[in-house]
Structure 1
Amino acid sequence: MPTVVFHKGGQTYTGEVKDNTNLVVRAGIKQFPFPHLRYECGMGKCAKCACRVLAGAEHLPPVNWKEKKQLGERVGEGYRLACQLWLNNDIELLQDVEA
């Protein structure tokens, strides 16, 4: 089972999720250990779930067209859309606090 380390607002949250888990789907059905994940549409259209991948990026699929469109240059800084990621390996994410 993948371990997720999630950083937001100076806090760190750690938990395990089942293989092939999408964090936004789990948050939407209240089965996600980190209620602090910001998300909205869950379809790659709003970028509210954007997170910077601190560790584990090598196990993720390539950036898709939705992520390229929504994130632009931030893709080069390690940002991904959590709603587009199905996790099968450990990952560490940072989500910026909304201004």
Structure 2
Amino acid sequence: MPTVIFHKNGSAYEGEVRPNTNLVVRAGIKQFPFPHLSYGCGMGKCAKCTCKVLAGAENLGTPNWKEKKQLGDKLDQGYRLACQLWIQHDVELVQEDPPGA
């Protein structure tokens, strides 16, 4: 099973997920990485679930049109929308709250 390492505000959380798992769906049903993952609509419209991929990007699908629209040049910096990712292999992500949040 894939291992997910999720960094948030200086802390790291690790858990295993089944292949073809979406982290926003899991957080919505109060499983790992709940309550640490920030997310909103779950449909790629709000970008609240934006994360930077630290490791495992090569195993993620190609960014879809929603990610291209929301993230633009940030895709080149390693950012992805967690709601649009289906985890098949180990991945390490970081998500920081915006200043003043």
1:73 aligns with: 73
1:41 aligns with: 41
TM-score by length of 1: 0.96
1:85 aligns with: 85
Contact 2:6 2:33 in 1 (8 A): no
Gaps of 5+ in 1: none
Range 31-40 or range 17-26, more displaced: 31-40
Deviation track 1:59-78 (CA, whole Å, cap 9, x = no partner) reads 01111110010011111100
TM-score by length of 2: 0.94
The percentage of counterpart residues that share the same residue type is: 71
Q: Provide the secondary structure at the position in 1 that maps to 2:93.
A: strand
Contact 1:13 1:34 in 2 (8 A): no
Deviation track 1:42-99 (CA, whole Å, cap 9, x = no partner) reads 0000000000000000001111110010011111100000000010100000102222
Contact 2:2 2:87 in 1 (8 A): yes
C-alpha distance in 1, partners of 2:17/2:83?
15
Aligned length: 99
Structure 1 stretches (4+) deviating beyond 6 angstroms?
A: none
Cα RMSD between the aligned structures?
Answer: 0.9
